[in-house]
Structure 1
Amino acid sequence: MFIEPNFKGERRGWIEVICGSMFSGKTEELIRRLKRVEIANLKAEIFKPGIDVRYDDVKIVSHDENKIQSTPVDNSQTILLLAQDVDVVGIDEAQFFDDQITVVCEKLALKGIRVIVAGLDMDYQGKPFGQMPNLLAIADYITKLHAICMKCGNIANVSYRKVAGGGQVLLGEKDIYEPRCRECAALGDTI
């Protein structure tokens, strides 16, 4: 879907995507960038999917327990309605949003808004997760972060699920997932 740009001498927006496995620091990086936005006295709105209540119902919280206020939303179109008169929009856990999140990010960027999105690029099976591949395709800037493999200490890019069952989406933390490199994830629990 093509969105007509608005070039009336207004500032230009862009899309930044922060991706990687669980425990790689995606949310930490999102919070870091958004705090710099606050320091610059820019107006920001921050959103997260309503289903993500692992640490807090409202705040975005990193594994290191850094926090920033956000608005939980049930669908991506709500972001367009709530992101009025802002300089920056932050979106966490983008893989959980519906298929309109890419269109929403494009519309925001065309309005001159800096859009910073964080999310898992792959699910626990190493498959592209949700709308993240589409967001990566339209991003102006991409930051891919890595964790450390819990089995061998190498760079990890897989969110290995330690428990059986559940669908593609199974909310959890270290009790259910751990970061692993490609080789250790392929070996499963035989190592």
Structure 2
Amino acid sequence: MLYNEEVFKRKSEIGGSIEVICGSMFSGKTEELIRRINRARIAKLHVEIFSPVADTRYDKSALVSHNLNSIPSKAVDNAASILPLADDIQVVGIDEAQFFDDELPAVCTALANNGVRVIVAGLDMDFKGRPFGSMPQIMSIAESVTKLHAVCVKCGSAAMYSYRLVPDESKILLGEKESYEPRCRNCFKS
């Protein structure tokens, strides 16, 4: 798609912004990102979704939620790769933001400053309950932050932690229900 006056006009009309969707695994972050992108498509905005090449759990050409809802996306090697691919885009979705390099906050800022609505989804904490990747920086520069909660598998309370079930201390371990479960604060500690 070529950059044109109509796209520039729509970018100016909607203005740039950064929105963050965060929470634990199984909280519905990707599902919410897909919902917001679909609403932008209904509004006839030019959209594109990006995800890190490192996330190989589902599909390289589609963003897939745990509920198996999907939407086309582009896998990129690093955050800077997003900029040239978003030249004529009005709404950019970025999934699994915690896996991107430290340049992601600057990329999000550059896009927003250029009139793009940027919607970022990712884990806000790692399996040890510590801030994950560049998510804290992105949350601090965002116009809005939506924190989603899963359901604690131990007690049914709101879960904000991703508890790792397997004995692996690597910061990044791609996995699903065989490797992680959502837990509330009390069940995460115990």
TM-score by length of 2: 0.92
Q: What code does the residue aligned with 1:130 have? A: G
Q: For residue 130 of structure 2, give the secondary structure of its aligned residue in structure 1.
A: coil
Match of 2:130 among 110, 116, 127: 127
Match of 1:98 among 89, 101, 113: 101
Deviations 1:66-119 (A, max 9, x none): 000000001000000100111100000000000000000000000000000000
Partner of residue 30, structure 1: 33
Runs of 4+ with deviation above 3 angstroms: none
| Structure-2 separation of matches of 1:71 and 1:16 | 19
Partner of residue 10, structure 1: 12
| Structure-2 separation of matches of 1:157 and 1:163 | 19
- 5+ residue gaps in structure 2? 1-10
Deviations 1:105-143 (A, max 9, x none): 000000000000000000000000000000000000110
Partner of residue 59, structure 1: 62
| Structure-2 separation of matches of 1:166 and 1:126 | 13
| Structure-2 separation of matches of 1:126 and 1:30 | 23
| Structure-1 separation of matches of 2:147 and 2:12 | 30
Partner of residue 150, structure 2: 147
| Structure-1 separation of matches of 2:54 and 2:80 | 16
Q: For residue 110 of structure 2, give the secondary structure of its aligned residue in structure 1.
A: helix
Paired residues of 2:47 and 2:90 also in contact (CA < 8 A): yes
Q: What code does the residue aligned with 1:115 have? A: V
| Structure-1 separation of matches of 2:169 and 2:60 | 22
| Structure-2 separation of matches of 1:10 and 1:124 | 40
Paired residues of 2:60 and 2:74 also in contact (CA < 8 A): no
| Structure-1 separation of matches of 2:140 and 2:95 | 18
| Structure-2 separation of matches of 1:100 and 1:123 | 19
Partner of residue 46, structure 2: 43
Partner of residue 4, structure 2: none
CA RMSD of aligned residues (A): 1.0
| Structure-2 separation of matches of 1:57 and 1:104 | 21
Q: What code does the residue aligned with 1:116 have? A: I
Match of 2:189 among 183, 186, 189: 186
Partner of residue 162, structure 1: 165
- 5+ residue gaps in structure 1? 1-8
Deviations 1:35-89 (A, max 9, x none): 1111111001110000111011221100000000000001000000100111100
The sequence identity of aligned pairs, in percent, is 60
TM-score by length of 1: 0.92
| Structure-2 separation of matches of 1:174 and 1:13 | 36
